[in-house]
């Protein structure tokens, strides 16, 4: 079984969504079942004792936690983890059952193909301190964009699910109720919309729950949605 949920931000109140009360199906799962977090995981942040306790709590759960990065991650700390390969794509193993799915990768999980691309632009970055509460790596590099397109080409521009933190331009306009400023990541997602065949696209970042009229895009926050 595979589930998708939204941002956790490394905070106890946000991780409550994954306890057995709010997520009763978790009692039936095994380590070959997965919960995918759509960015702003926030538990690779300061390497504190409290953070390590929460990572251990996730490790002790019956399921395996998969996550993409958002804009609120400590990328300096994250990049200290060695890059491994898992299910056909690059990952960071935070521990045996907490796995960071890297940008531009395609994984084959339970017979389904998942494209992942984390990152987003912090609107409040000018009020944050670089390498303390904000990292320039929140926005993808040219190499990450290129790797994503290369992997799509390898898979004939077809996947089952797309998992991102931010979204394409037209959905950003809807969510922000205005002509939102496009950045390079939004434009990259616009390109994906024109080229890729997929079943459904899940993203976080906006702290909302909504499936859009096309029934192909869902922004998610507290919900835990079963997709298989």
Question: Tens digit of pLDDT for each residue in 17-47?
Answer: 898 888 999 999 999 999 999 999 999 999 9
C-alpha span between 83 and 87 (Å, rounded): 13
What pLDDT is stored for residue 14 in this prediction? 66
Question: Tens digit of pLDDT for each residue in 55-64?
Answer: 999 999 999 9
pLDDT at residue 180 is higher than 90: no
What pLDDT is stored for residue 10 in this prediction? 86
Tally of domains within the chain: 1
- Mean pLDDT across 65-86: 97
Buried b (16+ CB within 10 A) or exposed e, 144-183: bbebbbebbeeeeeebbbbbbbbbbbebbebbeeeebeee
pLDDT at residue 179 is higher than 90: no
What pLDDT is stored for residue 32 in this prediction? 97
pLDDT at residue 106 is higher than 90: yes
- Mean pLDDT across 112-119: 98
Write down the pTM of the prediction. 0.96
C-alpha span between 137 and 79 (Å, rounded): 10
What pLDDT is stored for residue 21 in this prediction? 87
- Mean pLDDT across 113-127: 95
pLDDT at residue 94 is higher than 80: yes
Residue 86 CB partners (closer than 8 Å, separation 6+): 93, 99, 107
More confident residue, 176 or 217: 217
CA dihedral 151, 152, 158, 163 (to 10 degrees): 80
What pLDDT is stored for residue 197 in this prediction? 98
pLDDT band at 228 (very low <50, low <70, confident <90, very high): confident
Q: What is the mean pLDDT of the chain?
A: 95
pLDDT at residue 72 is higher than 80: yes
Domain of residue 30, CATH code: 3.60.21
Instruction: Please report, rounded to a whole number, the percentage of residues in the chain having pLDDT higher than 90.
Output: 88
What pLDDT is stored for residue 16 in this prediction? 81
pLDDT at residue 215 is higher than 90: yes
Identify any residues that bridge with 211 across adjacent strands, giving them in sequence order: 218
pLDDT at residue 183 is higher than 90: yes
Q: Which domain holds residue 116?
A: 2-226
């Amino acid at each position: 079984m595979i589930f998708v949920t939204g941002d956790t931000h490394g905070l106890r109140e946000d991780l409550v969504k994954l306890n057995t009360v709010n997520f009763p199906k978790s009692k039936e799962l095994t380590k070959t079942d997965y919960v995918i977090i759509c960015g702003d995981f926030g538990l690779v942040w300061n390497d504190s004792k409290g953070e390590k306790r929460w990572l251990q709590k996730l490790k002790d759960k019956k399921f395996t936690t998969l996550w993409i990065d958002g804009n609120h991650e400590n990328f300096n700390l994250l990049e200290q983890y060695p890059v491994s390969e898992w299910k056909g794509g690059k990952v960071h193993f935070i521990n045996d059952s907490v796995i960071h799915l890297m940008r531009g990768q395609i994984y084959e999980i339970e017979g389904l193909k998942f494209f992942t691309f984390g990152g987003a632009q912090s609107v409040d970055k000018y009020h944050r301190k670089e390498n303390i509460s904000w990292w320039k790596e929140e926005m993808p590099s040219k190499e990450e964009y290129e790797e994503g397109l290369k992997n799509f080409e390898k898979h004939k521009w077809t996947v089952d699910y797309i998992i991102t933190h931010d979204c394409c331009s037209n959905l950003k306009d809807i969510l922000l109720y205005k002509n939102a400023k496009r950045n390079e990541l939004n434009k990259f997602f616009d390109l994906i919309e024109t080229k890729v065949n997929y079943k459904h696209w899940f993203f976080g970042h906006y702290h909302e729950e909504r499936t859009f009229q096309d029934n192909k895009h869902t922004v998610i926050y507290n919900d835990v949605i079963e997709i298989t």
